Chains A and B, each alone.
Chain A
Amino acid sequence: MGRRAFIKNTSLASGGLVLGFSILNSCKPEQAKEMAVREMPKEWFEMNSYLKIGDNGVVTIYTPNPEFGQNIRTSMPMLVAEELDVDWKNVLVEQAPYHADKYGFQFTGGSRGISARWEPLRMAGATARQMLIAAAAETWQVPKEEVTAEAGVLQHAATKKSAGYGEMASVAATLTVPEEVQLKEVKDFKLVSRSQKNVDAKSIVTGRPLFGMDIQEEGMLIAMIEHPPAFGLTLKSVDGEAAKAMPGIKDVVTIKSFKDGYEKGGFDTNAFPELVAIVGNSTWEVMQAKKKLKVEWQPITAYSETIAGFGGKETINIPAGLESTTTHKSQMEALAAKPGKVVRKDGNPEVAFKNATTILERSYSAPFLAHNNMEPLNAFAHVAGDKVKIAAPIQIPSLIIPTIASSLGIPKENIEMDLPRMGGGFGRKAYAHFVVEAALISQKVNAPIKLVYSREDDMTNGIYRPTYHATYRAAFDENNNLTALHVKAGGVPESPLFANRFPAGAIDNYMAEEWTIDSNISIGAFRAPRSNFMAGAEQAFLDEVAETMGKDAIQFRLDLLKRAKENPVGERNDYDADRYAGVLELVREKSAWKENDATKHRGVSAYFCHNSYAAHVLDLKMENGKPVVEKVVCAIDCGVVVNPDAATNMAEGAITDGVGNAFYGELTFQDGVPQKNNFHQYQMIRMNDAPKEIDVHFVQNEIDPTGMGEPPFPPVFGAVANALYKATGQRHYSQPFITKKEVVG
Chain B
Amino acid sequence: MAIFNLNINGETKEVDVDPATPMLWVLRDHVKLVGTKYGCGIAQCGACTVHLGDNAVRSCQLPVSAVGEQKITTIEGLSENGDHPIQKAWLEIDVPQCGYCQAGQIMSASALLKRNPNPSDEEIESAMNGNICRCGTYTRIKKAIKTAASSENV
Report which A residues bind B (CB closer than 8 A).
Answer: 30, 67-71, 197-198, 200-202, 204-211, 213-214, 216, 222, 247, 282-285, 287-288, 372-376, 421-426, 452, 454-455, 645-646, 649-650, 652-657, 660, 678-680, 684-688, 690-694, 743-745
- How many A-B residue contacts, CB cutoff 8 Å? 201
Contacts of B129 in A (CB 8 A): 686-688, 744
Are B138 and A690 in contact (CB-based, < 8 A)? Answer: yes
Among A209, A282, A685, max chain B CB count under 10 A is at A282
Query: Does B66 make an interface contact (CB < 8 A)?
Result: no
> Does A690 lie within 8 Å of B136, measured CB to CB?
yes
Given A69-B135, A455-B39: A204 and B94 within 8 A (CB)? Answer: no
Contacts of B18 in A (CB 8 A): 247, 284-285, 288
List 14 extra interface pairs beyond A68-B98, A284-B18, CB under 8 A. Answer: A30-B82, A206-B35, A206-B78, A207-B74, A209-B34, A209-B35, A374-B37, A423-B99, A425-B98, A426-B134, A454-B41, A455-B39, A678-B42, A684-B134
CB-CB < 8 A to A288: which residues of B? 18
The one of B126, B134, B139, B142 that contacts A424, using a Cβ cutoff of 8 Å: B134
Interface residues of B in 125-150 (CB under 8 A from A): 125-126, 128-142
Q: Chain A residues with Cβ under 8 A from B25's Cβ?
A: 282-284
Can you offer 9 A-B residue contacts whose CB atoms are under 8 A? A207-B36, A209-B35, A213-B34, A282-B25, A373-B98, A645-B94, A653-B97, A684-B132, A693-B139
Closest Cβ of chain A to B123, distance in Å, is: 11
A455 engages B82 (CB within 8 Å): no
Per DSSP, chain A at the interface is loop
Chain B residues with CB under 8 Å of chain A are 1, 17-18, 21-22, 25, 28-30, 32-45, 47, 74-76, 78, 82, 87, 90-91, 94-103, 106, 121, 124-126, 128-142
Q: Which residues of A contact B30 (CB under 8 A)?
A: 282
Q: How far is the CB of B20 from chain A (nearest CB, A)?
A: 8
Q: Report how far A323 CA is from B130 CA in the complex, Å.
A: 33
Contact partner, A374, options B45, B106, B140, Cβ 8 Å? B45
Q: Are A745 and B43 interface neighbours, CB within 8 A?
A: yes
Known: A69-B135, A70-B97. Contact between A688 and B37, CB under 8 A? no
Contact (Cβ within 8 A) A214 B139: no
Which residues in A have their C-beta under 8 angstroms from that of B99?
69, 200-201, 204, 210-211, 421, 423
Q: Is the interface of B mostly helix, strand, loop or mixed?
A: loop
Q: What is the distance, in angstroms, from A442's C-beta to the closest C-beta of chain B?
A: 18
CB distance from B103 to the nearest CB of A (A): 5
Instruction: Please indicate which of the listed interface residues B29, B78, B136, B139 has the most CB atoms of chain A within 10 Å of its own CB.
Output: B136
Residue with the greatest number of chain A CB neighbours at <10 A, chosen from B37, B40, B126, B137: B40
Contact A423 B100 (CB under 8 A): yes
CB <8 Å contact, A657 and B132: no
How far does the alpha carbon of A70 sit from the alpha carbon of B87 in the complex, in Å?
20
CB distance from A268 to the nearest CB of B (A): 24
The closest CB in chain A to the CB of B87 belongs to: A205
CB distance from A425 to the nearest CB of B (A): 8
Rounded to whole Å, the gap between the CB of A528 and the closest CB of chain B is 14
A423 touches B44 (CB 8 A): no
Residues on A with beta carbons closer than 8 Å to the beta carbon of B141: 687
**How far in angstroms is the closest Cβ of chain B from A390?**
19
B41 A455 Cβ-Cβ under 8 A: yes
Contacts of A214 in B (CB 8 A): 34
B28 to A, closest residue via Cβ: A283
Complex Cα spacing A211 to B35, Å: 10
Contact A679 B45 (CB under 8 A): yes
Q: Which residue of B lies closest to A209 (CB)?
A: B34
- Assess A653 versus B135: contact at CB under 8 Å? Given A205-B96, A211-B100: yes
CA distance A684 to B130 in the complex (A): 11
Decide if B42 touches A657 in the complex (CB within 8 Å). no
